[in-house]
Structure 1
Amino acid sequence: MSDGFQIKYFHSLQVVVSSSNEESSSLVIGCLLPLTDAEQQLSEIKETCYEGKSKKIQLSWTPQVRASCDQTVFSIYKGVRTFDLCQKHRLLITGGMDKLIRLWNPHYSGKPTGILKGHSAPIISIRISSEDNQIFSVSTDCTVKY
């Protein structure tokens, strides 16, 4: 895990979630975009490889900005260093430099549904155990809480 940045793909929800130290975009949940241009390019690359040609392939695909309706942006004090998402419980949890664990409805970025206190150092890892209905967190001082 790098300093203050994490990214995960949740296949069951077809979303990509990323975090940052930026307060205005601390966590972003984004829908996957159609891959029509990328699929076409992959097809062209496969054709070139199978034909044994050594020509250079000009990639024309450019990243697209996701529409605001296709993403949920969370603004969180001091940003988010770690997060987890549980589809079973419809729960998003975040942790970071402010030593707080925030519980969220993943579809609403307004305010957290709950805040857990107890760490005395920044939180660096957090996980939801949907089988046990528990949250596990680790802080920089090696304290584990659940």
Structure 2
Amino acid sequence: MAHPPLAPLHPMRPARHFRRALLSLSLLACGAVWAQQPPAAAPTPAGHMLAEIQVIPRPAGTADDRYKHVDAAIAVIQASGLRHEVHALGTVVEGPPEKVWALLQAVHQATLEAGAERTLSVIKVSSGAQAGGPRVEDLVRKFRP
């Protein structure tokens, strides 16, 4: 693989050229190490996943229905059949990873289909390497009356 020659050093900007040369060497070294390693096997999904999603559509709704686009996202979660808890700043969902991942995408898309001009989804996901894993109830039981 041929690399372009480095530009001649400028007397007033030697640090810039030095950083560029170091970056090039670092990238070459990383590429060489990566090429020597066999490809990793794809991880197998565990049987349980927790996710929290917060959708931030713009606008959040309409003049007649202030949270129309957010409500559309929550309706998709409710229709999923997965265990979920709606909170003020997001919704927690739990279930099999393949269903949770698909739901997260559908929730994001629901805000756009409801009429939002754009949307941002903030997603947190937790799962373990072993089947099972903590459930929402396990994590919050001691804080509930």
TM-score bracket for the superposition, by shorter chain length: under 0.3
Instruction: Judging by fraction of residues, say which structure has more strand.
Output: 1
Taking structure 2 as the reference length, the TM-score comes to 0.24
Instruction: Judging by fraction of residues, say which structure has more helix.
Output: 2
Structure with more relative contact order (C-alpha pairs < 8 Å, separation 6 or more): 2
Taking structure 1 as the reference length, the TM-score comes to 0.24
